[in-house]
Amino acid sequence: MFAIERHQKVVELLNQRDSIRVTELAKMLQVTEETIRRDLEKLESLGKVLRIHGGALSVRNLDEETPFKERKTSSVVEKKMIAKEALRHIKEGDVIMLDASTTTWQMAKLLPNINLTVVTNAIKVAVELAVKSKIRVISTGGTLASESLSYVGPIAEKSLEGYHVNKVFLSCQGFNLTTGLSDASALQAMVKKRMISVADYCYLLVDHSKFGEQSLANISDVRSVHTVITDNKVNQSNVTELNRMGIIAKIAN
Protein backbone atom coordinates (compact mmCIF):
# COMPACT_ATOMS: atom_id res chain seq x y z
CA MET A 1 0.00 0.00 0.00
CA PHE A 2 1.40 3.38 -1.02
CA ALA A 3 1.72 6.15 1.60
CA ILE A 4 -1.07 8.23 0.07
CA GLU A 5 -3.44 5.24 0.18
CA ARG A 6 -2.44 4.56 3.77
CA HIS A 7 -3.09 8.18 4.72
CA GLN A 8 -6.58 8.05 3.18
CA LYS A 9 -7.31 4.83 5.07
CA VAL A 10 -6.17 6.34 8.37
CA VAL A 11 -8.47 9.36 7.92
CA GLU A 12 -11.39 7.09 6.98
CA LEU A 13 -10.87 4.93 10.06
CA LEU A 14 -10.65 7.97 12.33
CA ASN A 15 -13.81 9.50 10.90
CA GLN A 16 -15.60 6.24 11.65
CA ARG A 17 -14.22 5.77 15.16
CA ASP A 18 -13.22 9.31 16.29
CA SER A 19 -10.01 7.94 17.87
CA ILE A 20 -7.57 5.09 17.28
CA ARG A 21 -4.27 3.86 18.71
CA VAL A 22 -0.97 3.56 16.86
CA THR A 23 -0.75 -0.16 17.69
CA GLU A 24 -4.18 -0.80 16.13
CA LEU A 25 -3.35 1.10 12.96
CA ALA A 26 -0.04 -0.73 12.58
CA LYS A 27 -1.78 -4.11 12.77
CA MET A 28 -4.66 -3.12 10.48
CA LEU A 29 -2.42 -1.62 7.81
CA GLN A 30 0.38 -4.16 8.27
CA VAL A 31 3.19 -1.66 8.76
CA THR A 32 5.45 -0.76 11.68
CA GLU A 33 4.36 1.55 14.48
CA GLU A 34 7.13 3.96 13.47
CA THR A 35 5.61 4.19 9.98
CA ILE A 36 2.22 4.98 11.50
CA ARG A 37 3.75 7.69 13.70
CA ARG A 38 5.30 9.30 10.62
CA ASP A 39 1.95 9.04 8.81
CA LEU A 40 0.15 10.72 11.71
CA GLU A 41 2.78 13.47 11.88
CA LYS A 42 2.25 14.17 8.17
CA LEU A 43 -1.56 14.08 8.47
CA GLU A 44 -1.48 16.43 11.46
CA SER A 45 0.64 18.92 9.48
CA LEU A 46 -2.11 18.84 6.83
CA GLY A 47 -4.80 19.45 9.46
CA LYS A 48 -6.46 16.07 8.87
CA VAL A 49 -5.87 14.44 12.28
CA LEU A 50 -4.84 15.44 15.79
CA ARG A 51 -2.09 13.39 17.38
CA ILE A 52 -2.40 12.39 21.04
CA HIS A 53 -0.20 10.19 23.20
CA GLY A 54 -0.30 6.70 21.69
CA GLY A 55 -2.69 7.48 18.88
CA ALA A 56 -4.78 10.11 17.08
CA LEU A 57 -8.16 11.83 17.08
CA SER A 58 -10.41 12.72 14.17
CA VAL A 59 -10.66 16.48 13.60
CA ARG A 60 -14.14 16.12 12.10
CA ASN A 61 -16.06 16.77 15.35
CA LEU A 62 -13.31 17.91 17.68
CA ASP A 63 -14.68 21.35 18.46
CA GLU A 64 -18.43 21.00 18.54
CA GLU A 65 -18.86 23.37 21.44
CA THR A 66 -21.63 25.82 22.13
CA PRO A 67 -20.76 29.25 20.71
CA PHE A 68 -19.56 31.79 23.29
CA LYS A 69 -22.43 34.17 22.49
CA GLU A 70 -24.89 31.43 23.47
CA ARG A 71 -22.99 30.19 26.52
CA LYS A 72 -22.69 33.68 28.02
CA THR A 73 -26.49 33.96 28.29
CA SER A 74 -26.93 30.55 29.93
CA SER A 75 -27.32 30.47 33.76
CA VAL A 76 -26.02 34.05 33.95
CA VAL A 77 -27.16 34.68 37.54
CA GLU A 78 -25.52 31.49 38.80
CA LYS A 79 -22.30 32.18 36.89
CA LYS A 80 -22.01 35.68 38.33
CA MET A 81 -22.53 34.34 41.86
CA ILE A 82 -19.91 31.65 41.31
CA ALA A 83 -17.47 34.19 39.83
CA LYS A 84 -17.89 36.48 42.86
CA GLU A 85 -17.18 33.60 45.23
CA ALA A 86 -14.13 32.61 43.17
CA LEU A 87 -12.69 36.11 43.53
CA ARG A 88 -12.59 35.61 47.31
CA HIS A 89 -9.93 32.96 46.74
CA ILE A 90 -7.54 35.28 44.90
CA LYS A 91 -5.04 37.45 46.73
CA GLU A 92 -2.59 40.07 45.57
CA GLY A 93 0.59 38.58 44.14
CA ASP A 94 -1.06 35.35 42.97
CA VAL A 95 -0.14 33.73 39.67
CA ILE A 96 -3.35 32.23 38.34
CA MET A 97 -4.73 30.54 35.25
CA LEU A 98 -8.18 31.08 33.73
CA ASP A 99 -9.71 28.86 31.06
CA ALA A 100 -12.07 29.91 28.26
CA SER A 101 -15.32 29.35 30.12
CA THR A 102 -17.95 32.07 30.46
CA THR A 103 -17.67 31.85 34.26
CA THR A 104 -14.00 32.80 34.21
CA TRP A 105 -14.92 35.59 31.79
CA GLN A 106 -17.25 36.86 34.51
CA MET A 107 -14.33 36.62 36.92
CA ALA A 108 -12.16 38.69 34.60
CA LYS A 109 -14.84 41.38 34.41
CA LEU A 110 -15.05 41.56 38.20
CA LEU A 111 -11.35 41.26 39.05
CA PRO A 112 -10.04 44.38 40.80
CA ASN A 113 -6.94 46.09 39.42
CA ILE A 114 -4.41 44.48 41.75
CA ASN A 115 -0.96 42.96 41.34
CA LEU A 116 -1.65 39.62 39.63
CA THR A 117 -0.31 37.46 36.83
CA VAL A 118 -3.00 35.75 34.74
CA VAL A 119 -2.28 33.05 32.18
CA THR A 120 -5.18 32.31 29.84
CA ASN A 121 -6.12 30.79 26.49
CA ALA A 122 -9.26 32.96 26.30
CA ILE A 123 -9.33 36.07 24.13
CA LYS A 124 -12.36 37.50 25.98
CA VAL A 125 -10.58 37.13 29.32
CA ALA A 126 -7.43 38.82 27.98
CA VAL A 127 -9.46 41.72 26.56
CA GLU A 128 -11.28 42.27 29.87
CA LEU A 129 -7.99 42.36 31.78
CA ALA A 130 -6.13 44.53 29.26
CA VAL A 131 -7.46 47.74 30.80
CA LYS A 132 -6.29 46.77 34.31
CA SER A 133 -2.74 48.07 34.41
CA LYS A 134 -1.55 46.14 37.48
CA ILE A 135 -2.54 42.75 36.06
CA ARG A 136 0.05 41.06 33.87
CA VAL A 137 -1.70 38.97 31.20
CA ILE A 138 -0.02 36.05 29.42
CA SER A 139 -1.83 34.46 26.47
CA THR A 140 -1.05 30.93 25.33
CA GLY A 141 -1.38 31.44 21.59
CA GLY A 142 -2.34 28.46 19.45
CA THR A 143 -5.09 27.64 16.98
CA LEU A 144 -8.10 29.93 17.27
CA ALA A 145 -11.36 28.16 18.12
CA SER A 146 -13.83 30.70 16.76
CA GLU A 147 -16.87 29.37 18.64
CA SER A 148 -15.27 29.87 22.06
CA LEU A 149 -12.89 32.70 21.09
CA SER A 150 -9.98 30.80 22.60
CA TYR A 151 -6.68 29.18 21.68
CA VAL A 152 -6.43 25.39 21.54
CA GLY A 153 -4.29 22.69 19.95
CA PRO A 154 -0.65 21.57 20.30
CA ILE A 155 0.80 25.10 20.44
CA ALA A 156 -1.53 26.12 23.28
CA GLU A 157 -0.78 22.91 25.17
CA LYS A 158 2.98 23.24 24.66
CA SER A 159 2.86 26.85 25.82
CA LEU A 160 1.21 25.82 29.08
CA GLU A 161 4.03 23.36 29.82
CA GLY A 162 6.33 26.32 30.34
CA TYR A 163 4.33 27.80 33.23
CA HIS A 164 3.67 27.07 36.88
CA VAL A 165 0.75 28.77 38.66
CA ASN A 166 -0.57 28.89 42.20
CA LYS A 167 -4.19 28.41 41.22
CA VAL A 168 -6.24 27.44 38.19
CA PHE A 169 -9.90 28.39 37.81
CA LEU A 170 -11.81 26.45 35.19
CA SER A 171 -15.19 25.04 34.25
CA CYS A 172 -16.42 22.09 32.24
CA GLN A 173 -19.58 20.84 30.55
CA GLY A 174 -19.90 17.65 32.56
CA PHE A 175 -19.03 16.98 36.21
CA ASN A 176 -19.66 13.39 37.23
CA LEU A 177 -18.48 12.30 40.65
CA THR A 178 -17.66 8.86 39.27
CA THR A 179 -16.19 9.53 35.84
CA GLY A 180 -14.76 13.01 36.43
CA LEU A 181 -14.64 16.25 34.45
CA SER A 182 -15.50 16.28 30.74
CA ASP A 183 -16.11 18.64 27.84
CA ALA A 184 -17.84 18.46 24.46
CA SER A 185 -14.66 19.67 22.75
CA ALA A 186 -11.67 17.32 22.83
CA LEU A 187 -9.41 20.29 22.04
CA GLN A 188 -10.67 22.26 25.04
CA ALA A 189 -10.48 19.16 27.23
CA MET A 190 -6.79 18.71 26.45
CA VAL A 191 -6.00 22.35 27.23
CA LYS A 192 -7.90 22.16 30.55
CA LYS A 193 -6.09 18.93 31.44
CA ARG A 194 -2.76 20.65 30.85
CA MET A 195 -3.84 23.65 32.94
CA ILE A 196 -4.63 21.40 35.91
CA SER A 197 -1.25 19.69 35.61
CA VAL A 198 0.73 22.93 36.01
CA ALA A 199 -1.26 24.35 38.93
CA ASP A 200 -0.72 23.84 42.66
CA TYR A 201 -4.42 24.16 43.39
CA CYS A 202 -7.50 23.62 41.22
CA TYR A 203 -10.84 25.43 41.57
CA LEU A 204 -13.70 24.01 39.53
CA LEU A 205 -16.50 26.48 38.78
CA VAL A 206 -19.72 24.64 37.89
CA ASP A 207 -23.38 25.48 38.33
CA HIS A 208 -25.79 22.82 39.62
CA SER A 209 -26.83 21.72 36.11
CA LYS A 210 -23.34 20.31 35.38
CA PHE A 211 -23.47 17.73 38.18
CA GLY A 212 -24.06 14.17 37.05
CA GLU A 213 -23.41 15.02 33.40
CA GLN A 214 -20.78 13.40 31.21
CA SER A 215 -19.65 14.93 27.93
CA LEU A 216 -17.57 13.56 25.05
CA ALA A 217 -13.98 14.17 26.08
CA ASN A 218 -12.50 13.39 29.49
CA ILE A 219 -10.50 16.12 31.22
CA SER A 220 -9.43 14.60 34.52
CA ASP A 221 -10.41 12.59 37.56
CA VAL A 222 -12.57 14.25 40.22
CA ARG A 223 -9.70 14.11 42.70
CA SER A 224 -7.63 16.50 40.59
CA VAL A 225 -9.97 19.21 41.93
CA HIS A 226 -9.37 20.75 45.36
CA THR A 227 -12.37 23.09 45.64
CA VAL A 228 -15.69 23.10 43.78
CA ILE A 229 -17.55 26.40 43.65
CA THR A 230 -21.20 26.01 42.71
CA ASP A 231 -24.59 27.72 43.19
CA ASN A 232 -27.21 27.27 45.88
CA LYS A 233 -29.40 25.05 43.68
CA VAL A 234 -26.97 22.16 43.94
CA ASN A 235 -28.28 18.91 45.41
CA GLN A 236 -27.07 18.49 48.99
CA SER A 237 -26.17 14.85 48.30
CA ASN A 238 -23.53 16.08 45.83
CA VAL A 239 -22.04 18.37 48.47
CA THR A 240 -21.98 15.52 50.98
CA GLU A 241 -20.21 13.22 48.51
CA LEU A 242 -17.63 15.88 47.66
CA ASN A 243 -16.87 16.36 51.34
CA ARG A 244 -16.55 12.59 51.77
CA MET A 245 -13.97 12.59 48.97
CA GLY A 246 -11.97 15.33 50.71
CA ILE A 247 -12.98 18.01 48.20
CA ILE A 248 -14.12 21.38 49.51
CA ALA A 249 -17.53 22.54 48.29
CA LYS A 250 -18.23 26.28 48.34
CA ILE A 251 -21.82 27.42 47.77
CA ALA A 252 -22.10 30.84 46.14
CA ASN A 253 -24.98 33.05 47.28
pLDDT tens, position by position, 55-71? 887 766 545 554 544 44
pLDDT at 71: 47
Residue 170, domain member (yes or no) = yes
C-alpha span between 107 and 129 (Å, rounded): 10
Do residues 185 and 100 share a domain? yes
Do residues 199 and 159 share a domain? yes
- Asked if residue 179 has pLDDT above 60, the reply is yes
Do residues 43 and 91 share a domain? no
Whole-prediction pTM value?
A: 0.73
What is the amino acid identity at position 95? Answer: V
pLDDT at 199: 98
Find the mean pLDDT for residues 195-209.
97
Do residues 29 and 142 share a domain? no
Range name among 7-11, 50-54, 72-76, 142-146 with the lowest pLDDT average? 72-76
Do residues 128 and 189 share a domain? yes
- Asked if residue 143 has pLDDT above 80, the reply is yes
C-alpha span between 236 and 241 (Å, rounded): 9
Residue 228, domain member (yes or no) = yes
pLDDT at 148: 83
Find the mean pLDDT for residues 143-166.
92
pLDDT tens figures, 38-95: 999 888 887 787 777 778 877 665 455 545 444 444 468 889 999 999 999 999 999 9
pLDDT tens figures, 97-139: 999 999 999 999 999 999 999 999 999 999 999 999 999 999 9
Domain housing 148:
68-252
pLDDT tens figures, 235-253: 999 999 999 999 999 999 8
pLDDT at 73: 43
96 within 8 A of 137, measured Cβ to Cβ: no
Residue 102, domain member (yes or no) = yes
> Phi first, then psi: what are they for 250, rounded to 5°?
-110, 125
Residue 163: pLDDT band (50, 70, 90) is very high
| Rg of the chain over all Cα atoms, to the nearest angstrom | 19
Do residues 42 and 134 share a domain? no
Do residues 178 and 248 share a domain? yes
Question: What value does the mean pLDDT of the chain take?
Answer: 89
Overall domain count for the chain? 2
Which of 15, 33, 58 terminates a domain? The answer is 58
DSSP-assigned letters across all residues of 157-216: HHHHHT--EEEEEE--SEEETTTEEEES-HHHHHHHHHHHHTEEEEEEE--GGGBT---S
Do residues 36 and 74 share a domain? no
Residue 63, domain member (yes or no) = no
Which of 58, 81, 102 terminates a domain? The answer is 58
CATH value at residue 10: 1.10.10.10
Do residues 15 and 78 share a domain? no
> Which one has a higher pLDDT value, 187 or 216?
187
CATH value at residue 146: 3.40.50.1360
